[in-house]
Structure 1
Amino acid sequence: MTAPRFFSAEEVDAALGVGVAIESQRRAFVALGRGDAVMPPKTVVEGGTDGSLALTYSARLSPDSGPVCKFVSFNPGNAARGLPSIHGLITVLHPETGEPVAVLDGAAVTTSRTSAASAVAADVLAKPDAGDLAVIGCGAQGKAHVRAIAAVRGLRRVRLFGRDEGRRRAAAAELNAEFGFAVEAVPTIGQAVEDADLVALCTVSAEPVLRASQLAPGCTVLAVGSFEPHRREADRSVLAAATTVTVDHAPTAIAHAGPVIDALAAGVLREQDIVQLGDVLLGKATARVRDRDIVFYNSTGVGVQDAAAAWAVIEHAAARPVSR
């Protein structure tokens, strides 16, 4: 058996340019919406004394693509250690023989596919002229969201908020060097979201950081850090105000997404009213009817996203063989 190829974080980033990553995620959600994908429930391994845990995501994008499994850890205490909070590996099997064909850096794939999925959501959920973006959380995901959303919307202005003034200023400076629109670091969440067309929540907060009273008419909220039942970046009022609550995968969101679980328990949301992103992409559901509608999107992250991104990396490598 040939040893599987390992793709480092740098190689993943090189293969998953913003455009490639976005198309991989569009493919993932369309496959999920059509029923082509196979995706068992994700599993959670708890027990870390600092709230750390491990998660397993597995999926098959289509009958002719091989199974993919990601084993990833989330360690919130790593920030104090000067380490990333997410580490992991993704294993890809051959579609016919089942032999391992690749192992990829799981953190790099997670960052890329999460922000790219938000761009796919923004593209179909946001009003057509949306160009004012607020990002709450200015770590790797916050910066990745600016880059990804800029690929699907003509951004005019971006405002970043993060608790650490130095980090938010550094993030704004880094992004300003890349783009022609203004990226501003602001000292409060209120200043960040005022009149924003798009709000990306890139925190892992257990307490709501955003309320409906802060939102401009027509705003689209993208929440990516509420991947556990106790994490709730968006207040219940946001979901109550939303014309549509859209998710990556309804069964996963109902079991794991803190804002969705809270809104269901409070009776401000019904399971039958939850819309899946794949259904919007396929035209089977409508998320936005009017420009003034508030639309909320919650991503918990699902295995089909990792499968689509991993195969995109492998296909990129196959098209560009390593020179010897």
Structure 2
Amino acid sequence: MVLIIGSSQLRSALRMADVIKAVEEGFKEFSSKRAVMPPRCRIDVEGGAGAFLFMPAYLPRAGAIAVKEVSVHSGNRQARGLPTVRGVVILSDPKDGSPLAIIEGAALTAIRTGAAGAIAAKYLSNKDAEAVAIFGAGIQGRAQLEGLAEVRGIRKAWIVDPAEAAAKSLAEYAARTLGVDAEVCSDAEGACRRAGIIVTATTSRVPVIYGKWLDGGVHINGIGSHDPQSREIDSEAVLIAAREGKVVVDSYEACLSEAGDIIIPIKEGAIARADLHAEIGEVAAGAKRGRESELEVTLFKSVGISVQDAAAAMAAYQSVLRSGAGVEVELEDKVVI
């Protein structure tokens, strides 16, 4: 039987705490070279209608093998009223090849990325950090706030987003669901200076935070940018983290090829490859150090890697199976030929 898990089943049955635990173990497997993560495969649709991306991963210790398929059709929203980006994750049993689950990909991606930000904050932010500045009030801003609330006693949030309605909606959600005193903020610099943790989860191609806004002790989660020409964090901020704290990434290889937040400062000569302190999996495993003083400025840059999808997919499968929230279907004939 294969479990079909939609976004509503994920939200009702899957706890962020369980995903944080699973993704942390996945990061450890990845950084210790036990995980298998082949290169991403891209297929462009004829006529430029769209593209499909396929991202597989295998986590031996977790007993999870999964592939995420993501489609990107830029004309969907205007022409058809459909999402631009859609995805599914297929989870299988590595022991016998049985398909275990087919999971809606957008919601799972948001949750696992929120978990990654939480793991980074767990090891890199000050333990008494209570205030957060969230840049970007979309699904990822919400997931980042949910993750942070699991690992730190977040009491105050400033939501920075040019779309005031979205910012207000996230602030109301944070107050109602997480018990966080959240308010919409138009003063980006002021939000940064008041926060112990800063999250960038925007679609901006240019910096939204600057080094001159950073005070000692702050931690930054750079989440939104994931191509070589775009960045949310300026070079001065990255340099400050490299010199006065630590720059940590989810994957050296992925960030050096996809993350403008890292690539651009290296090209400008602000930092060097050697300034990347660690992968988060190395820090979580104790192979590299996390925060060492209250005054360090730390930066975690994530572009997202498929081991997160495999780890989160297994956590989702187990949670939904226990809750009975998903729909089971029989894909195969019972007669073995």
Q: Write the distance in 2 (CA, Å) between the matches of 1:262 and 1:213.
A: 18
SS in 1 for 2:224: coil
Question: Could you say which residue in structure 2 is the equivalent of 1:176?
Answer: 175
Deviation at 1:169, TM superposition (A): 1.3
What does 1:79-94 correspond to in 2, within 5 Å? 84-94=83-93
Count of aligned pairs between the two proteins: 322
Aligned to 2:189: 190
Work out the CA distance in 2 between the residues paired with 1:320 and 1:170. 29
> How far off is 1:52 after superposition?
6.9
Superposed CA offset, 1:232-283 (max 9, x none): 1111111111021111111111111111111221222222332100110111
Q: Is 2:5–2:326's contact at 8 Å kept on the other side of the alignment?
A: no
Report the equivalent of 1:312: 315
Q: Which 10-residue stretch deviates more, 269-278 or 44-53? A: 44-53
Distance 1:315 1:76, change over 3 A: same
Q: Among all aligned residue pairs of Structure 1 and Structure 2, give the percentage whose two residues are the same amino acid.
A: 28
Q: CA distance change for structure 1 residues 195 and 66 in 2, over 3 Å: closer, same or farther?
A: closer
- How far apart are the structure 2 equivalents of 1:51 and 1:149? 38
SS of structure 2 residue aligned to 1:88: strand
Partner letter of residue 297 of structure 1?
F
What CA distance in whole angstroms lies between the structure 2 residues aligned with 1:47 and 1:215? 44
Matched with 2:133 is 134
The one-letter amino acid of 2:270's match is: V
- How far off is 1:85 after superposition? 4.8
TM-score calculated relative to the size of structure 1: 0.91
After superposition, the CA RMSD in angstroms is: 2.5
| Aligned partner letter, 2:281 | G
Structure 1 residue identity aligned to 2:289: T
Matched residue SS, 1:178: helix
AA partner of residue 167 (structure 1) = A
Q: Distance in 2 between matches of 1:308 and 1:323?
A: 18
**For the structure 1 residues 171 and 75, does the alpha-carbon distance in structure 2 shift closer, same or farther, using more than 3 Å as the test?**
farther
Q: Quick one: which amino acid aligns to residue 231 of structure 2?
A: R
Q: Map of 1:1-324 to 2, 5 A cutoff?
A: 2=1, 4-44=2-42, 54-62=52-60, 65-74=63-72, 84-242=83-241, 243-274=245-276, 275-321=278-324
Residues in 2 aligned to 1:264 and 1:248: alpha-carbon distance in whole angstroms: 17
Relative CO higher for 1 or 2, CA cutoff 8 Å, sep ≥ 6?
A: 2
Q: Structure 2 unaligned runs (5+)?
A: 328-337
Task: Kindly indicate whether the alpha-carbon contact (under 8 Å) linking 2:135 and 2:200 is maintained by their aligned counterparts in 1.
Answer: yes
Distance 1:78 1:167, change over 3 A: farther
Larger Rg: 2
Q: 1:220 to 1:316 in 2, by over 3 A?
A: same
Indicate how the Cα distance of structure 1 residues 65 and 211 shifts in structure 2: closer, same or farther if over 3 A, else same: same
Residue 184 of structure 1 deviates from its aligned partner by: 0.7
- The answer to whether the 8 A contact 1:225-1:231 is kept is no
Shift of 1:322: 6.4
Q: Give the match's secondary structure for 2:283.
A: helix
Q: C-alpha separation between the residues in 2 aligned to 1:127 and 1:71?
A: 37
Conservation of the 8 A alpha-carbon contact between 2:136 and 2:160: yes
What displacement does 1:317 show? 3.4
Q: CA deviation at 1:50?
A: 10
Q: 1:189 to 1:107 in 2, by over 3 A?
A: same
Secondary structure, aligned partner of 1:144: helix
AA aligned to 2:93 is: H
When residues 323 and 143 of structure 1 are mapped into structure 2, their CA distance, relative to the original with a 3 A threshold, is: closer
Q: Distance in 2 between matches of 1:61 and 1:112?
A: 19
C-alpha distance 244-213 of structure 1, shift in aligned 2 (>3 A)? same
Summarize the Cα distance change of 1:231–1:74 in structure 2 as closer, same or farther, 3 Å threshold: farther
**Can you list the C-alpha shifts for 1:89-134, whole angstroms capped at 9, x where unaligned?**
1112221232322211010110100011100110101012111100
